Amino acid sequence: MRALSIKNLIIKDMVSYQKYLYMGIELKFITEKNISKIIIYVFIIIMTSMILMISYFYVKNTYEDFDLQMEKFVQEYYKNQKISLKKEIDTIIDIIKYNATKSGEDELAVKEDTVRLLNNVSFEKDKSNYIFVYEILDINGGDNFAKLLVNPNRPDLIGKYISTHYEDINGKKFREAFMDDIRVKGESYTGYAYKKVYTEEIKQKLSYFKYFPRWHWVIAVGVYVDDIEEEIAKNRELLKTRVQKQVVQNILLFLLFLSLAIVISILVSQKIDEVLKAYQRKVQSKSAALKELNETLERRVDDEIEKNREHEQLLVQKSRFIALGEMISNIAHQWRQPLSELSSIFMFVKFKYSMGQLDEDMMNQKSKEAERVLEYMSHTIDDFRNFFMPKKEAEKFNLRSAMDSIMTIISSALSNNSINITICVDANIYLNTYINEFEQVVLNIITNAKDVLIEKEVKNPWIKVYTQEDEYNITIFVEDNGGGIQVKPRNKIFEPYFTTKKDSDGTGIGLYMSKTIVDKNMNGKLRVRNSEHGARFEIIIPK
């Protein structure tokens, strides 16, 4: 064995050396002179690619975040504008309520004072939001549904009646829209197109309308969308400038990092160059010894092979004797029960003869039983011989017929020991495997179950054989009521030469050979479990 290890080590050295030579040919452009430069170039390419990718994704993500922030800003800005408009109207209504409560004048006078007050509210030229008031005459809308009391932008309409059927430049009946909300909620946010202050331009406007039920007034204030968009544009430019500045700063930082990395790589490559030169000197000093080793390597391999040839022959011869011994032991194990069957048949014939009750029919029956047992013994030799032969062919056979063949051998032994066996096998099930080996496995398992039932003196002993079929496998179950397997782990019963019987009653080969046959020869599985009553063997055969 030591010689074999040396041989394997030498062969491994040869293979490694050949791989080394092959790599040297394939990568011959990498030499000691240019390896440091190659390291620098590769590192620069990798780092530059990484920096470019990082910069690209950073810029992309930054501008995506910028768009998201602007979208959020726009939503918040419009929301704040609506809140601001509502606060203005709430303030106006609070003032109106305060004046109406405080004044000692009648209601009409208070209303006239309030109209004058709202008309005199300062109206800045640069601001486009202003207060306007409708006196509602018909809450349901229609022509002349209201009279315009206050509107600094449209003094030509003051005191005139207005209609909900009026449409803006886009065809929207905005008065009808805000009145629908007024009737339901008492307030409304409505967008529409209207003339802008101090100009003749029609711009989109957002207004807030609130109903003052005490005087049947609708008090409103609005803001033009272009003013909002102008403020948003200013903020957009400020934010964009800040983002661009941040992007430039980070890209410069990335470039600085790349420069530092390149400088470090140059210093490292110089150190690697020095190490390689030192290594080259060592390799040159050992090249002569390596050359001599290569020249003698083949001779050493031949010598080791010659030395181990005789040892290998001895190992082969020994393995043959071991296999032959196992086969003889297995045949002896399988013949023990048939010999017992033959002994029972001969004793029965002798007994009947001594009693003078041996007629021709009885003699023929027992002769046929003896012939079947002898035929099985002959088949056993063939089965084991075929098992050790490399060429074997599977065949398709009926499972029920195979079980009947097994019962001709074991049935008398079971009945003599009052063991009831039940076979529930569909007559239409066919297996495609080695019939002799399959019958040998099932017979082994039933025989072991019989021995356990006899040894434990189980009352009303029974053995059941039944099947289960699915898409891929056919499973044959062999179950008994012998109390189950107490060995832990249970799979230990499949180990060679393991037995719970006395030395004279078993060799521990039967279940080992059965599992070997099923798992290796039949590509199936042999398992064992403990059921409610005893042991249950499962022979799983693929279809």
Task: Output 188 or 499, whichever has higher pLDDT.
Answer: 188
Write phi, then psi, for 167 (nearest 5 degrees). -115, 140
382: Cα separation from own chain's centroid: 51
Give the pLDDT mean for 498-522. 73
- pLDDT at residue 147 greater than cutoff 80: yes
* Cα–Cα separations (whole angstroms), residue 22 to 141, 228, 279: 96, 74, 21
Edge-to-edge order in the sheet of strand 473-480: 420-424, 462-469, 473-480, 535-542, 525-530
At residue 211, the pLDDT reads 92
Give me the pLDDT at residue 252, please. Answer: 82
Percentage, residues of the chain above pLDDT 70: 80
As a residue count, the chain comes to 543
Q: Is 144 left (phi over 0), alpha (psi -120 to 50) or beta?
A: left
Nearest to 163 by CA among 175, 155, 153, 172: 175
Quick one: tokens of 311? Answer: 């040892």
pLDDT surpassing 60 at residue 13: no
For the residues 258-273, what does the mean pLDDT come to? 77
Asked whether the beta carbons of 238 and 202 are under 8 A apart, the reply is: no
pLDDT tens for each residue of 376-415: 788 767 655 654 554 467 889 999 999 988 887 788 778 8
Reported as a pLDDT band with limits 50, 70 and 90, residue 530 is very high
* pLDDT attached to residue 329: 56
The residue among 239 and 138 whose pLDDT is bigger is: 138
Residues 6+ apart with CB under 8 A from 115: 133, 149, 150
Higher pLDDT, 503 or 394: 394
Whether the Cβ atoms of residue 294 and residue 17 lie closer than 8 Å to each other:
yes
For residue 209, name the pLDDT band (cuts at 50, 70, 90).
very high
Between 131 and 501, residue with greater pLDDT = 131
Burial label for 98, CB within 10 Å (0-12, 13-18, 19+), is exposed
CA distance 27 to 84: 75
At 330, is the pLDDT very low, low, confident or very high (cuts 50, 70, 90)?
Answer: low
pTM for this structure?
Answer: 0.38
pLDDT at 183 over 80: yes
Is 60 exceeded by the pLDDT of residue 319? Answer: no
At 426-471, the pLDDT tens digits run 999 999 998 888 988 998 899 889 989 999 999 999 999 999 999 9
- Reported as a single tens digit per residue, the pLDDT across 336-352 is 778 888 888 889 899 88
Confidence at residue 444, expressed as pLDDT on a 0 to 100 scale: 87
Tokens (6 digits) for 245: 């500045």
22-36, 101-115, 208-222, 278-292, range with greatest mean pLDDT? 208-222
Q: In this model, does residue 244 exceed pLDDT 60?
A: yes
Token duo for residue 165: 């059927």
For residues 354-368, average pLDDT? 89
